[in-house]
Structure 1
Amino acid sequence: MDADGLASFFREIAALHPAEQLTFLCIGTDRSTGDALGPLTGSRLLEYGFPHVTGTLPAPCDADNLIRRIAEIPEGQIIIAVDACLGPPAALGYYFAAAEPLRPAQSVGLLLPAVGNYSLAAIVDVNSPRPYRTLQTTPLHRVIVMADQIARAAAQGFGLTG
Structure 2
Amino acid sequence: MPLDNKIYFSINTDKINASYMLSCKLTDLLLQHDIYNKNLVIFCIGTDRSTGDCLGPLVGYKLSKLSLSKNITILGTLNNPVHAKNLDENIIYIKESIQNPFVLAIDASLGKSENIGNINLLLGPVYPGAGVNKKLQPIGDISITGIVNTSGFMEYIVLQNTRLSVVMKMAEVITTSIYTSLKQIYNYKVAID
Query: Normalising by the residue count of structure 1, what TM-score does the alignment of the two structures yield?
Result: 0.92
**Distance in 2 separating the partners of 1:64 and 1:9:** 32
Residue 33 of structure 1 is matched in structure 2 by: 51
**Distance in 2 separating the partners of 1:78 and 1:135:** 29
Residue 158 of structure 1 is matched in structure 2 by: 182
Query: After superposition, where does 1:87-106 map in structure 2 within 5 Å?
Result: 87-106=111-130
Deviates more, 1:45-54 or 1:57-66: 45-54
**Distance in 1 separating the partners of 2:36 and 2:130:** 30
Among residues 50, 53, 59, which one is paired with 2:80 in the alignment?
Answer: 59
Residue 124 of structure 1 is matched in structure 2 by: 148
Q: Note the C-alpha offset of 1:128.
A: 3.6
Among residues 107, 112, 115, which one is paired with 2:139 in the alignment?
Answer: 115
Question: Are residues 54 and 72 of structure 1, via their aligned partners in 2, closer, same or farther at CA, if it must alter by over 3 Å?
Answer: same
Structure 1 unaligned blocks of 5 or more: none
Structure 2 unaligned blocks of 5 or more: 1-9, 185-193
Q: Note the C-alpha offset of 1:71.
A: 1.1
Residue 63 of structure 2 is matched in structure 1 by: 45
Query: Normalising by the residue count of structure 2, what TM-score does the alignment of the two structures yield?
Result: 0.78
**Distance in 2 separating the partners of 1:28 and 1:19:** 28
Residue 140 of structure 1 is matched in structure 2 by: 164
**Distance in 1 separating the partners of 2:60 and 2:76:** 6
Residue 128 of structure 1 contacts residue 134 of structure 1 at CA under 8 Å; is this kept in 2? no
Tell which structure's C-alpha radius of gyration is larger: 2
Residue 38 of structure 2 contacts residue 100 of structure 2 at CA under 8 Å; is this kept in 1? no
**Distance in 1 separating the partners of 2:67 and 2:37:** 10
Residue 50 of structure 2 contacts residue 159 of structure 2 at CA under 8 Å; is this kept in 1? yes
**Distance in 2 separating the partners of 1:115 and 1:8:** 23
Among residues 78, 92, 95, which one is paired with 1:71 in the alignment?
Answer: 92
Q: Note the C-alpha offset of 1:19.
A: 9.7
Q: Note if 1:10 corresponds to 2:26.
A: yes
Q: Note the C-alpha offset of 1:8.
A: 2.1
Structure 1 residue identity aligned to 2:165: H
Q: Note if 1:23 corresponds to 2:41.
A: yes
**Length, aligned pairs only:** 160
Once superposed, what is the RMSD of the aligned Cα atoms? 1.7
